[in-house]
Amino acid sequence: MLRPGTQLGRLHLDDPYRQAVQRLRGDWTARLRRAQAYARAGDIARAHRMIQTVYRERPDDERVLVRVIETAVEANDFDLAIRVLGDGLDLHDRLLHAAPDPAALERTAYHLKESLCRCARQLLRRTARYAAQETAATVASLLRRMDKMWTLDERTLLVWGNFHFLRHEQERALRLYRRVVESDPGNALGWYNLGFTLERMGRRDEAVRAYRRAVALDPRSQAAQRLAAVGARN
């Protein structure tokens, strides 16, 4: 059935209806912006309610899903961010197995994957310092699930390594930094982080070798200062 104001051929809708559609489409973005403002003002409870309301209304919209995670992380609502990130991984799986246009769905799944990795990095940065041990363990478990679904990129591996380092889990951080430099030997930051972790663990000879690789790749790296400091102590 055609709506009032529709003209055949041109399909022109009258202004009130078109404006209502635009308001409906943009409403969730405006509400999430308000939720972010509430979070910055310290009204976490109101931000949490608004975020949850938006997500309940549009749980299968990848744009909403990503914005909800970002807003929840900013509001330090880690439980919600973790739950929605898990839902995002489920949505990614459904997109890959849906029909009828596999190529288009694969592109959508790829963009969703990139967005979820970005959200995961934000979540790792926030929870590394502010989350309780149980929450941090759940975040790490979620990252392991992502790592099994697809090989995580070096940026995400670096942030994941930093997460474990800041939580004094140096062995786990070391494994992740090694993966970074094995995957990308030209990653100066990866070599620096590897060297710094080895130095903290008392493995100075290995730290020196890692620092030298970092300095060779980037002479202005902080690794040059650490290399001089370690050399002075030896």
The string of DSSP letters for 189-234 reads HHHHHHHHHHHHTT-HHHHHHHHHHHHHH-TTSTHHHHHHHHHHH-
pLDDT at site 85: 94
pLDDT at site 101: 64
pLDDT at site 45: 81
The distance of Cα 200 from the centroid of its chain, to the nearest Å, equals 27
Quote the CA–CA distance of 192 and 183 in Å, as a whole number: 15
**Low-confidence spans in the chain with pLDDT less than 50:** 1-14, 17-22, 24-25
pLDDT at site 232: 57
pLDDT at site 50: 85
What does the block give as tokens for 63?
């744009």
pLDDT at site 172: 96
Per-domain residue ranges for the chain? 18-150, 153-234
217-232: pLDDT as tens digits: 998 888 888 888 886 5
The hierarchical CATH code for the domain 153-234 is 1.25.40.10
Equal fold, 18-150 vs 153-234: yes
The CATH-assigned architecture of domain 18-150 is Alpha Horseshoe (1.25)
Q: What count of other Cβ atoms lies within 10 Å of the Cβ of residue 36?
A: 18
Give the per-residue SS3 of 54-87.
HHHHCCCCHHHHHHHHHHHHHCCCHHHHHHHHHH
pLDDT at site 11: 35
pLDDT at site 175: 97
pLDDT at site 119: 94
